[in-house]
């Protein structure tokens, strides 16, 4: 089967290309790119719309197995496709955790049967994410994991983390570190500062993140293992990453849309949809994160999509869980808050959501549109404005900090391997 995308504006960060063109797809791959192409198959008229490589999210919580009431691989991949993603890296802090070959096989089998897009699983660093006994990284690597992480929990024992890096390095996969000193962050609920004092909420200092980032960078220097620092929230952490890169240490990093666009002041109304870990920081931190994203210190954007039930988020602030949903709104949030306001160029944003994460994973074939390459493609309508309401989401959960906000830059068509994974019938002819 052939498919033609007619008249779109190709925005390809790999080539720096922004031009009006047609894209002919045959089977799972791009066959030709050029003007005035024809196809005997389905043609999508996408004039005026942007054509980008399918987005890659390095940090998604799909909750399955164990919390299928909040999300499943089926619902999470549908949500990802609606947000323009064609690849998700699933975090292993499920219940039970993905800390064995059987857990990895469960994720891959379920995705093959029920997933709308590609899922690349991460495996746990330690058994049951307990922080003390290493998992069988080699066996899980052979089974299909692309990284190891105890995300949601730090590995507090430095010797265990060293051994984990040595072990992961043998198989060429990165360690994704949740940088948090829990002795500094314990019982904290928001960024530590004047506002947390005024609100009567226990704070989490930036140093809780920065101290652990410094340790893990030192261990990456010692072991030579690729270290990826998740959800960077603090200016000082990003500065450490910049210095590490200058010294040739193999470290990469990600930042979330909410840390790029929101600050601690969002919590003034005690809305638990703004309660995240690491917490929203100061305006100074937010501006610094954007600066470090633009100069390449921070390699990519990742959603840290963390679905929770309304009943969980409706509890008292100190009891409500950390986390926000992000798959469906990630690109639109960044387009509206940054690209529209000329704080970030569109092609730079595309790079941070496609090539950037592909490089972190060492997947050179992803994150680009080229003849012969995978037909993982996202078509974006940059003009239509939508207000985010609860019925907007395909995720099972609605805990978004952007509810009620007007956004632009929504995907209208997502192709995964040449197949339609999502189509907005209202805005695509």
Q: Which residues are identified as catalytic?
A: 304
Residue whose C-alpha is closest to residue 267's, from 309, 210, 305, 324: 324
* Contact status, residue 262 vs residue 249, Cβ threshold 8 Å: no
H or E element at residue 263: none
Give the residues across from 147 on adjacent strands.
122
Positive or negative: CA dihedral 207, 209, 210, 211? positive
Three-state SS at 345: coil
Residue 133's alpha-carbon distances to 139, 183, 225, in angstroms, are 15, 20, 19
The three state secondary structure string of the chain is CEEEEEEEEEEECCCCEEEEEEEEEECCEEEEEECCCCCCCEEEECCCCEEEECEEEEEECCCCCCCCCCCCHHHHHHHHHHCCEEEEEECCCCCCCCCCHHHHHHHHHHHHHHCCCEEEEEECCEHHHCCCCECCHHHHHHHCCCEECCCCCCCCCHHHHHHHHHHHHHCCCCEEECCCCHHHHCCCCEECCHHHHHHCCCEECCHHHHHHHHHHHHHHHHHCCCEEECCCCCHHHHHHHHHHHHCCCCEEEEECHHHHHCCHHHHHHCCHHHCCCCCCCCHHHHHHHHHHHHCCCCCEECCCECCCCHHHHCCCCCCCCCCECCCCCHHHHHHHHHHCCCCCCHHHHHHHHCHHHHHHHCCCCCCCCCCCCECCEEEEEEEEEEECCHHHCCCCCCCCCCCCCEEEEEEEEEEECCEEEEECCCCCC
DSSP state for residue 279 in the 8-state scheme:
P
Give the residues across from 122 on adjacent strands.
147
């Amino acid at each position: 089967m052939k498919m033609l995308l007619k008249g779109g504006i190709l925005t390809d960060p790999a080539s720096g290309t922004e031009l009006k063109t047609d894209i002919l797809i045959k089977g799972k791959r791009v066959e030709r790119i050029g003007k005035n192409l024809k196809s005997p198959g389905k043609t999508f008229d996408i004039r005026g719309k942007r054509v980008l490589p399918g987005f890659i999210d390095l940090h998604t919580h799909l909750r399955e197995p164990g919390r299928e009431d909040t999300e499943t691989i089926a619902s999470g991949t549908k949500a990802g496709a609606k947000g323009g993603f064609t690849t998700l890296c699933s975090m292993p802090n499920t219940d039970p955790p993905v800390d064995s070959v059987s857990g990895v096989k469960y994720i891959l089998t379920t995705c093959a049967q029920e997933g709308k897009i590609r899922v690349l699983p991460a495996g746990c660093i330690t058994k049951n994410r307990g922080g003390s006994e290493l998992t069988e990284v080699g066996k899980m690597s052979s089974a299909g994991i692309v990284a190891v992480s105890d995300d949601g929990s730090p590995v507090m024992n430095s010797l265990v983390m060293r051994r984990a890096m040595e072990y992961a390095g043998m198989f060429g996969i990165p360690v994704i570190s949740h940088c948090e000193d829990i002795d500094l962050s314990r019982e904290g609920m928001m960024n530590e500062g004047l506002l947390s004092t005024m609100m009567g909420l226990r704070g989490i200092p930036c140093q809780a993140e920065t101290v652990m980032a410094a340790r893990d960078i030192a261990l990456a220097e010692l072991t030579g293992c690729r270290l990826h620092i998740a959800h960077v929230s603090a200016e000082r952490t990003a500065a450490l990453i910049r210095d590490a890169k200058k010294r040739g240490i193999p470290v990469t990093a990600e930042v979330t849309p909410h840390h790029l666009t929101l600050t601690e002041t969002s919590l003034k109304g005690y809305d638990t949809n703004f309660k995240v870990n690491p917490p929203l920081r100061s305006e100074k931190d937010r501006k610094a994160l954007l600066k470090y994203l633009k100069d390449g210190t921070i390699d990519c954007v990742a959603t840290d999509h963390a679905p929770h039930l309304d009943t969980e988020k409706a509890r008292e602030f100190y009891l409500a869980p950390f986390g926000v949903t992000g798959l469906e709104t990630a690109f639109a949030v960044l387009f509206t808050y940054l690209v529209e306001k000329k704080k970030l160029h569109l092609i730079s944003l595309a790079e941070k959501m496609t090539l950037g994460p592909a490089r972190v994973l060492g997947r050179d074939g992803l994150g680009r549109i080229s003849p012969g390459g995978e037909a993982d493609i996202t078509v974006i309508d940059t003009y239509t404005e939508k207000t985010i309401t609860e019925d907007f989401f395909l995720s099972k959960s609605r805990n978004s900090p952007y509810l009620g906000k007007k956004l632009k830059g929504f995907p209208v068509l997502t192709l995964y391997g040449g197949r339609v994974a999502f189509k907005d019938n209202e805005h695509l002819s």
